Structures are given as structure tokens and as C-alpha cells.
Amino acid sequence: MISLGIDPDSKDLSLATWGPRGPLDARVAHVVGKSTNYEMLATLAQEDLLWCKRPDIVVIEGQQIDRRKARPKDLFKLAHVTGAIALRVRQVYRSSPIIIPTPKEWKGSVAKHAMQARLYSELGWGYTIIGTGTSRYARPEAPPARFKHISAGQWKHVGDALLLARWGYDNHSV
């Protein structure tokens, strides 16, 4: 079984695959400059982001209004990106089931940096916590060479894509 996890973002949309032995690969659709959701939508339409063989499940993080101070207009913008990548997935992988859980559904109340740190520890990659307050995330210290193309800042989103892929693999076997 292969699970594809996708963390939507208007600058660094991240995709990761998970298989029987753990993380397989990750990619990032990166938009340079002043990012609008329309630039990311154009990127998603033009790039061959969906590189893996047909996944058995696709998990795309949805949005939610919660205690974080995300502005409604930013959540709405992110919802456009979520819809666009869901459509792109459907076009490429016609028969793969797609689920779009909210963060509360797939990670409960555990903070991003804590979830990512646990993952990297379990994988033996080590980690460093980056940022402060609600902007914290964990960056792996020694990921496998197949992830060398991921930039330091992109791990903020790639970590969530890996976690979504693992969550799909562990909880939605087909």
C-alpha cells in the first residue's frame, strides 16, 4: 500500500508518500515572489507534481477555524489550493480515494512541532525545533539522501505531508 499526503500552502505545497517501510519520497510545489492562490493554482495545473505510482489513499489537509489566529481570508485562500490539488489528484489518479481531514481530525490537539519532532525521532533522523510560539516546527537533522532536495524552510510543510501520508497509511488501509 502507498499513501500520498498533501499539505496545501500558497507558497510551498508539499506532497509525501508513505509505504510499508515508512517515508518513500517528498516533493514541493514552490511559488516565488508575492504569492497568491492563483499563482499556486497555475503551478498545480502545469507541473507534474503527482510523480508516484497510483496511491491507495490520498490525504489532503483541510482547513478549520480554531484557536489559532488564522485570518478567515487566509483560510479561504488555502481552501482554493486544497480544492485545486484535490481536482488535480482526481485527474491523475482517477480511482484513488481522497480524504480531506481537518487538522483536529488527523492530529488532535498536538502542536505541529511536537508531531513532527516525534516523527523524526521515531525515524532516527533527529530534529531541531525552529521558530517560536505558534510558528514552531521541527526540522530533521539527518534525513535520508533522497530528501536532500527539500530546503530547510520547506520542512515546515513537508513534515506535515509526511505525517498526513503516515496517518492515511495507518488509519485507512484498503
**What CATH number has the domain bearing residue 162?**
3.30.420.10
Report residue 134 as a C-alpha cell. 505558534
Would you give the DSSP letter of residue 29? E
**Phi-psi domain of 45 (left: phi exceeds 0; alpha: psi -120 through 50; beta: other):** alpha
Closest CA to 159 of 105, 101, 111, 120: 120
Give the pLDDT confidence score for residue 41 in this predicted structure.
82
Give the pLDDT confidence score for residue 174 in this predicted structure.
56
Residue 137 forms part of a structural domain = no
Give the pLDDT confidence score for residue 156 in this predicted structure.
95
| pLDDT tens sequence across 13-32 | 999 999 999 999 999 998 88
Residue 142 forms part of a structural domain = no
Residue 54 forms part of a structural domain = yes
Residue 136 forms part of a structural domain = no
Give the pLDDT confidence score for residue 67 in this predicted structure.
60
| C-alpha to C-alpha distance for 57 and 2, rounded to whole angstroms | 7
Report residue 148 as a C-alpha cell. 536532500
Residue 125 forms part of a structural domain = no
Are 107 and 91 contacting, i.e. CB atoms less than 8 angstroms apart?
no
| pLDDT tens sequence across 130-150 | 999 888 999 999 999 999 999
Give the pLDDT confidence score for residue 65 in this predicted structure.
67
* Enclosing domain of residue 60: 3-107+157-171
Q: How many domains does the chain contain in total? A: 1
Are 98 and 58 contacting, i.e. CB atoms less than 8 angstroms apart?
yes
Residue 113 forms part of a structural domain = no
Residue 82 forms part of a structural domain = yes
